[in-house]
Amino acid sequence: MNINAIVATRMTSSRLPGKVLMDLAGKPALVRLIERLKRSNYISQIIIATTTNQTDDVVVETAQSQGVLSYRGSEEDVLLRTVEAAEANDTDFIVQITSDCPLIDSQTIDRVIERMLEHPYLDYVGNQLVRTFPLGFSVEVFRTKDLRHVEQTINDPAVREHVSLYFYEQPERYYLSNVEASHFLHHPEYRLTLDTEEDYQLIKTIYEMLHPVKPTFDLYDIIRYLQQNAGVRSMNQHVQQKKAR
């Protein structure tokens, strides 16, 4: 059984172009994300699913430099790109992580994977159906065969862009489960996703403060730091998150 992480990545982000290669404590954000994904106890392969655009050559080169797989597909049809990347690498379960989550930790990822493995009847497990984790710590797990069925039957543009949207918009069709944060980590108001310049400055600060002391710093360390540094915590509080619909 192959449990593979698929990370949809491209250089032409609308709000912050090139964000996946922005520096975090001496390495590009994508490299930092890959480092953290490698610490999972369950992920077999990490697959960077990028586009056929020449601008994304550097994304493939970055993946190769880190010894992880890459796949090139449609820029606009992220759903198709994701399922093709999964099938090309014999993926049974897709662990969907977005490239704007360079702070995500393996503990959070593994909790979501474990829920799926412990309850085989489930079709989808995530941790943002009811958001209790900070933004930027989203993890979703589902089967490749189920995603291919969605890809073959649904032409809704929002679904083609937001890969897992159809699963959690159809609770009568799929068995869904939500993993909630523990009391200390319960901070859905914290914004730890990389989408704007303000987000970058906050994440960059966290890396500069925590990484030299503990390279494997996790969400507990981040929450503790933010609770003690209100100025850092407020750096991006005004940013509005884009919605799928």
Q: Is residue 239 part of a domain?
A: no
Q: What is the pLDDT of residue 27?
A: 97
pLDDT digits (tens, 9 = 90+) for 165-194: 999 999 999 999 999 999 999 999 999 999
Q: Is residue 238 part of a domain?
A: no
CATH number (domain holding residue 187): 3.90.550.10
Predicted TM-score (pTM) of the model is: 0.95
User: If you average pLDDT over residues 208-219, what whole number do you get?
Assistant: 98
Q: Is residue 84 part of a domain?
A: yes
- Give 67's contacts (C-beta < 8 A, 6+ positions apart): none
Q: Is residue 128 part of a domain?
A: yes
Structural domains in the chain (count): 1
Q: Is residue 243 part of a domain?
A: no
Residue 26 has pLDDT above 80, yes or no: yes
pLDDT digits (tens, 9 = 90+) for 7-19: 999 998 878 889 9
Name the band, by pLDDT with cuts 50, 70 and 90, for residue 137: very high
pLDDT digits (tens, 9 = 90+) for 139-160: 999 999 999 999 999 999 999 9
Across 6-20, 115-129, 206-220, least confident range: 6-20
Q: Residue 163's closest CA among 228, 104, 95, 91?
A: 95
Q: Is residue 245 part of a domain?
A: no
- Domain, as residue range, for 144: 3-233
Q: What is the pLDDT of residue 244?
A: 74
Residue 221 one-letter amino acid: D
Q: Is residue 244 part of a domain?
A: no
Q: Is residue 179 part of a domain?
A: yes
Which of 157-161's residues contact partners 24+ apart within 8 Å by CB, and which partners?
158/244, 158/245, 159/79, 160/76, 160/77, 160/78, 160/79, 160/80, 161/76, 161/77, 161/78, 161/79, 161/244
Exposure on the CB side of residue 148, measured as CA atoms within 13 A: 12
Share of the chain above pLDDT 70, in %: 100
Q: What is the pLDDT of residue 36?
A: 98
What is the residue-averaged pLDDT of the chain? Answer: 96
